[in-house]
Amino acid sequence: MLLYVTVGTNNLERAIEFYDPVLKTLGYRRLIRKHDEAGYAAPDDVRCRFWVVYPFDKQEATIGNGCMTAFLAERRKAVDAFHAAAMLYGGIDEGPPGIRPFHENFYGAYVRDPDGNKLSAVCEQAESS
């Protein structure tokens, strides 16, 4: 359904320092780096689906109330690693890893990036033994 998602930044270098290690925990990688944007892709995708950009209108990037990007995690350990990396690289905790009430296997963590954009990593698989 979605082609891609963008979040704004006021400091692309700082954003890359955050997103490179944080998204790596989920298996995602940066494919594109230009002067005004960085694009990330899933392991099996040759196209960037998540972009960090300076706003096109050249105004300051601001966060949207109620907006959030949720990344798919294959395992709960990846959600844990996502949250830990986000905290290590300047993120803000918005909800530590854990089961959420949406369904019995909804295991998620919530953070904000250094620009205030809200992000989540979610695993919907049952925990393996």
User: pLDDT at residue 37 above 60?
Assistant: yes
Q: Using 50, 70 and 90 to split pLDDT, how confident is the model at 9?
A: very high
- Residue ranges covered by each domain of the chain: 5-54+67-123
Q: In CATH, what class is 5-54+67-123?
A: alpha beta
Predicted confidence at residue 129, as pLDDT, reads 44
For range 22-39, the mean pLDDT: 97
**For 69-125, what is each residue's pLDDT tens digit?**
999 999 999 999 999 999 999 999 999 999 999 999 999 999 999 999 999 999 999
Q: Give the pairing type, strands 69-72 and 118-123.
A: parallel
Kindly report whether the global pTM for this prediction surpasses the value 0.85: yes
